[in-house]
Amino acid sequence: MSQLLKYVEDQMSIKVSHPKFKAGDTVTVHYKIKEGEKERVQQYQGVVIQRKGAGATETFTVRKMSNSVGVERVFPVCSPYIDKVEINKVGVVRRARVFYLRGLTGKAARIAEKKQ
């Protein structure tokens, strides 16, 4: 039964080609927003704090600070509303989920950048 569901999911899902990113990376997500008849692209920049799920149900959570208030947003990876994802910085973290950032503010909330 699960093989049947996986087959249907693979056939119906939208194939996306985002760059590879992980928790700790700083990304900019270009997200399409419909307002009535109009459509515009809004940018959301922040740190990826987790990737969750697999296949068509995979999501990633991006956290940013807005007026000293932490704001998190969950994006489905296979969403047709995501125009593109840009990687700004590649962070060095030793966790798959960096929820400890929620308790940190200011300079303590910085993530070390990978040297290239």
CA atoms in the 13 A half-sphere facing the CB of 72: 11
Among the residue ranges 1-10, 20-29, 60-69, 72-81, the one predicted with the least confidence is 1-10
Prediction pTM value? 0.83
Residue range 45-103, pLDDT digits in tens? 999 999 998 877 889 999 999 988 899 999 999 888 999 999 999 999 999 999 999 99
Domains of the chain with CATH codes: 2-104 (2.30.30.790)
If one compares 73 and 3, the residue with the highest pLDDT of the two is: 73
Q: Record the tokens describing residue 113, joined without a space.
A: 């950048």
Of 63, 59, 62, whose CA–CA distance to 76 is shortest?
59
The CA-to-CA distance between both ends of the chain, in Å, stands at 46
Partners of 28 in beta bridges: 45, 86
